[in-house]
Structure 1
Amino acid sequence: MDLLTVPQVMARLRLGRSAAYDLLRTRQLASITLGRARRIPAHALTEFVHARLDQEAA
C-alpha cells in the first residue's frame, strides 16, 4: 500500500496547504497518523477524486 505525504497530495491535487488540511480535518480525505506524521493512502486519494467526479456529474 502506498502512503502519500500531505505535500504529495497537495501537488497531485494542486491545492494549497490549508485546503489540503481542510480535506483531512473534515474527513473528506481519509488519512492515518504515524507518530506525528500524517499519511494518506493512495487508494483514499483515488476514491476522493472519484467521489468528486460523481458529485460533478450529478
Structure 2
Amino acid sequence: MSNVEALPAPPLRVLLTVEEAADRLRIGRTTLYGLIGAGQIVSVRIGRLRRLRPVDVEAYAVGLSPITTAPEEA
C-alpha cells in the first residue's frame, strides 16, 4: 500500500470572468462581449466587473445549432 494522500479537488468557480468563459467556449473576449450585449448569453455585473455563471455558459453552448451541410446535388 502507498502512503500517498489524495490532493483536495480545486474549488469550483461560482462565477467566471469574461476571459474564463470565452476560453471555455473557445471564442474571443470581444465575441463574448458581443453575445452578452445582444442578450444571447446571460451575465451579471458586480460593481464594475462582469461575471458569468458556468451554468449560463453551458446553456448557451447547448442551445447552439449544429452545422449542417446541404446534400450535394447530382
TM-score by length of 1: 0.84
2:50 pairs with 1:38:
yes
Percent sequence identity over aligned pairs: 30
Which structure has greater strand proportion?
A: 1
**Cα drift, residue 56 of structure 1:** 2.2
Look at both structures and tell me which one has the larger radius of gyration over its CA atoms: 2
Structure 1 runs (4+) greater than 4 angstroms displaced? none
Gaps of 5+ in 1: none
* Greater relative contact order (CA < 8 Å, ≥ 6 in sequence): 1
The CA RMSD measured in Å over matched residues stands at: 1.8
Q: Is the 8 A contact 2:25 2:61 kept in 1?
A: no
Which structure has greater helix proportion?
A: 1
Matched length:
56
